[in-house]
Amino acid sequence: MLGIPNAVIHTGWLDGVEKEQYYRDNLEFLRSFFPAMEKYGVNLLIENSTRANMGTKYFFYEGRDMMEFLEYANHPLLHACSTAWANTR
């Protein structure tokens, strides 16, 4: 509607779960966006974070995790972007 080709989304974080459960839960969440993405041709980009920001919560920290999740999700409009900022305190 606005002509914006890409939108960044932060997946949910989960404390005390394994990667497989994190992938399942977040794919279920992201699937709710697929119809609108397809209708309007918008790419949805997941973004990573750092362990310094997330503590013990499971999140995407490295590009390999993000790529593995994108392969798992298998949707042509789902992509990734990376944050370059890191908490250095």
Residues 6+ apart with CB under 8 A from 33: 9, 44
For residue 10, is it within any domain? yes
For residue 87, is it within any domain? no
* pLDDT in the model for residue 4: 85
Tokens of 9: 């989304």
Range of the domain at 51: 6-81
For residue 1, is it within any domain? no
For residue 12, is it within any domain? yes
Question: How many independent structural domains does the chain possess?
Answer: 1
Q: What is the pLDDT of residues 43-85, one digit of tens each?
A: 999 887 666 666 666 667 677 888 999 999 999 999 998 765 5
Task: Tell me if the pTM is above 0.85.
Answer: no
Decide if 86 contacts 52 (C-beta within 8 A). yes
- Cα 75 to Cα 22, 34, 39, 44, 56: the distances in Å are 17, 8, 14, 10, 29
